[in-house]
Structure 1
Amino acid sequence: MGLFDKKYCDICGEKIGLLGNRKLEDGNLCKDCAKKLSPWFSDRRRSTVEDIKGQLAYREENRERAAQFRTTRSFGEDRKVLLDEDHRWFTVTRARDLAEANPDILDFDAITGCRMDIDESRTELTHEDADGKDVSYVPPRYEYSYDFFLVISVRHPYFDEMRFSLNSSSVYYEPQKLPQRAPMSHAPMDRPSGRPKTINASRVDPEDCAEYRKYRQMGDEICQALEQARSGGKQPAGAALEENIIMHEAVQDIPAAGPWTCPACGGANTGKFCEYCGSPRP
C-alpha cells in the first residue's frame, strides 16, 4: 500500500481522513474512536485492534457507572477528585455532567497508592545598572515557580496511574531578603561596639507562600481521603453538610478584600494569609 492510500478504521470501518490516523500495532484507528478511549490510557501504539475493541466495550459499561455516580465528597479546583462513598467509587474529572463526559469510574479497592510530585524551577532575577544593562544582584536573587501534580496509583486493565495537575497556573515565589545578625563577639578595635554587622540573605522556604501552602495542603488532603476510602473509612452521615456550614461561616468572618498590613512582620498583603510570615489576616 502506498503512503497516501485510503485507510479505514479497523474499529468502526469509516474512512480515515488526512492526518486522522492513529496507528495500532496491527491496524488503524480513527480520531473519533480514539476520543472514546480512557484519557489515562497511553499505550495505543502497542495495542492491537482487539485490545482497543475490548477497551471501548469497557468504556460503554463505564458510562452506566458514570450515570449512577453520586458525589458525596469533592476535592480540587479545575480538575476534581470526586468520591461516591455509597457505591465506593471515585473519579478524576473536569466535567460537571458525568454521564455525558464518561470519566473512568474506579472502585476504592483499585487504589494502590497516592503521592504528590512538586516540580520546582528557578529563574535568576536581574536589575538595570546605571548604563541600562541587565545585571545580576550580588548576591544572586532568584524567583521560584512550583507546579503540583497528584499521582494516584491504581489496579486497572488499561492504565496504572492517574497523574494530573492541582494548580491551573504555576505558583511563583520570590524569597524575602532578611537581615541576619553576625554571631555575637567582641567588636574589633576599629569598629564601634553595639553595632552588629548585617548582611542581605534570602530565606528559601516556599511554605512562606500562601499559594504554595494551599496546593500542598490540597494534595495532602486528597491523599488522606483516598487512603481513608481504600481502608474502608467513611465520613459520618451529615459530616459533609456540617463541614460546609463551618467553612461558610469561616468565609463570612473574613474581612472584605483589600490591602492590609501584617501585625506580626509588617508586610503588605492582599490575601487571607501574610505572604511573608504566613500569619492569618486580622
Structure 2
Amino acid sequence: MFKGMFDKKNCDICGEKISVLGNRKLEDGNLCRNCVKKLSPFFRVGKQSAVEDIQRQLQYREENEQALSQFVPTRIFGKRNRVLVDERSGKFIVTYQQDWKKGNPDIIELTQITYVNVDVEEDKDEIMREGKDSKTESYNPPRYEYEYTFWVEIGIRSPWFEHIRFRYNYEKPKFRHDPLYRTLERELSELCVFLLK
C-alpha cells in the first residue's frame, strides 16, 4: 500500500533530491521547495500543473526580475502591504517588503486589471464579565469588541493567475467611526478609482 511513497525523488525542474516532506506533486513530475519559492506568490501550483507550466513560469519570473530594474514607483498605496504604481509605464506591483525589488514582485500592466473589490471583514468578540462564583458571564444586553480588516482583490488577465488578494491594513480599527477606519476607506476608494481609470 505504501510502496514507493517515501522513496526519494528528484525535482523535475532543477534535478536536486527532494526531501520526504518537501515534494510538490505535479501532473507529470515533482517539484522541490526551492523551485516553489521562485514562483509567483499568486501562482497556485498543484497536481494539475505540468512540468512545462512550471518551466514557463520560471522563465517569466526571470524576465520579471530583469524588468524590475526599469520599474520606477511614482504612486504608493498602503503602508505594509503596498501597491506601487509606475504611472509612466502603466504598471504596478503588490509587495509587503520594504526593499520591494528583493521579493521579485510580479509586474502587472494596469490594462490587465478586470476588477477591484474591497472587502471589510468584521471580527466580533463578546466582552464577558465576572459573575457569581467567579464564573464569566455575558452582560445583559451583550457587549462586543470589534476589529476591522480590509482586504483587496484585484482581478488580473494573466496566464499565471486570475486574481490577487491581500490584506491592506495591519493596524485594525476598533469601530466604524474610528478615524483610522475612515482613512482606510478613503485610501482604498482612491486605489480603486486609480487602478480602474
TM-score normalised over the length of structure 1? 0.65
Cα shift at 1:128: 2.1
Matched, 1:212 2:181: yes
Q: Aligned residue for 1:193? A: none
On the 8 A contact 1:145/1:171 being kept in 2, the answer is yes
- Structure having the higher Rg: 1
Q: Aligned residue for 1:247? A: none
On the 8 A contact 1:119/1:148 being kept in 2, the answer is yes
What stretches of structure 1 of length at least 5 have no aligned partner? 174-205, 229-282
> What amino acid is aligned across from residue 166 of structure 1 in structure 2?
Y
> What amino acid is aligned across from residue 135 of structure 1 in structure 2?
E
Cα shift at 1:167: 1.3
Match of 2:163 among 161, 180, 185: 161
Match of 1:108 among 96, 107, 110: 110
State the distance in 2 between where 1:18 and 1:116 align: 40
State the distance in 2 between where 1:126 and 1:14 align: 55
Q: Secondary structure at the match of 2:5?
A: coil
State the distance in 1 between where 2:62 and 2:184 align: 34
After the TM superposition, which residues 23-172 of structure 1 pair with which residues of structure 2 at under 5 Å, given as runs? 23-129=25-131, 131-172=133-174
Cα shift at 1:214: 2.3
State the distance in 2 between where 1:38 and 1:209 align: 36
Q: Secondary structure at the match of 1:58?
A: helix
- Tell me: higher relative CO, structure 1 or 2? Use CA pairs within 8 A at least 6 residues apart: 2
Cα shift at 1:212: 1.9
Identify if the C-alpha distance between structure 1 residues 46 and 171 changes in structure 2 by more than 3 Å, giving closer, same or farther.
farther
On the 8 A contact 1:66/1:98 being kept in 2, the answer is no
Cα shift at 1:15: 0.9
Q: Secondary structure at the match of 1:44?
A: coil
Aligned residues: 195
State the distance in 2 between where 1:136 and 1:148 align: 29
Cα shift at 1:86: 0.9
Q: Deviations over 1:183-216 (max 9, x none)?
A: xxxxxxxxxxxxxxxxxxxxxxx2x222222222
Cα shift at 1:84: 0.4
On the 8 A contact 2:80/2:97 being kept in 1, the answer is no
State the distance in 2 between where 1:151 and 1:15 align: 37
After the TM superposition, which residues 3-42 of structure 1 pair with which residues of structure 2 at under 5 Å, given as runs? 3-42=5-44
Match of 2:196 among 211, 216, 227: 227
Identify if the C-alpha distance between structure 1 residues 136 and 55 changes in structure 2 by more than 3 Å, giving closer, same or farther.
same
RMSD (Å) for aligned C-alpha atoms: 1.6
On the 8 A contact 1:150/1:164 being kept in 2, the answer is yes
**Higher strand share goes to which structure?**
2
Q: Deviations over 1:216-262 (max 9, x none)?
A: 2222121111123xxxxxxxxxxxxxxxxxxxxxxxxxxxxxxxxxx
Q: Secondary structure at the match of 1:157?
A: coil
Identify if the C-alpha distance between structure 1 residues 67 and 97 changes in structure 2 by more than 3 Å, giving closer, same or farther.
farther
On the 8 A contact 2:23/2:33 being kept in 1, the answer is yes
State the distance in 2 between where 1:226 and 1:38 align: 21
Q: Deviations over 1:58-110 (max 9, x none)?
A: 11111121111101100101111001011111010123434432110011110
TM-score normalised over the length of structure 2? 0.92
Q: Secondary structure at the match of 1:32?
A: helix
Q: Structure 1 vs Structure 2: percent identity of aligned residues? A: 47
What stretches of structure 2 of length at least 5 have no aligned partner? none
